[in-house]
Structure 1
Amino acid sequence: MLQDKEELHRKLAELTQEHRELDEALAQVAQEPHYDQIKASRLKKRKLLLKDMISRINSQLIPDLNA
């Protein structure tokens, strides 16, 4: 169980870091003279997927109150 929690915390840190990097990438794309809507859309979709994954891991890390 402890190893599983450690793995979840590690994965959470990785996903959170990637989410931050996507924020930076989106900001950079928005600053480009020729705004690439397709690239921005792909980055936003990936960012939403990461947000969902982060939420799921956070839910797993919260102890079950009924246990």
Structure 2
Amino acid sequence: MAIRCGNCGAPLRMSPETIVAICSYCGSPNWVRETARRELPVARSRPCEELLRRSGKCKLLKVGAKPVVGGGC
């Protein structure tokens, strides 16, 4: 879902914390309603284990039941 400037229609850059987005094209302030902020897509993070496995540089060690990063990081 793209949120657009109310003045010129350009796409606005914002995060869920944005209250007022200033248009980078026309400079108009755009007040962001709370409902619009809740609808913004949020990037999903990947589990630590997957990122370490993909990097190939670090090793995930387990000490007891707790995973710990070690070796080569």
Q: Looking at both structures, which has the greater relative contact order when contacts are Cα pairs under 8 Å and sequence separation is at least 6?
A: 1
Greater strand content:
2
Give the TM-score normalised by the residue count of structure 1. 0.29
Give the TM-score normalised by the residue count of structure 2. 0.27
Structure label with greater radius of gyration = 2
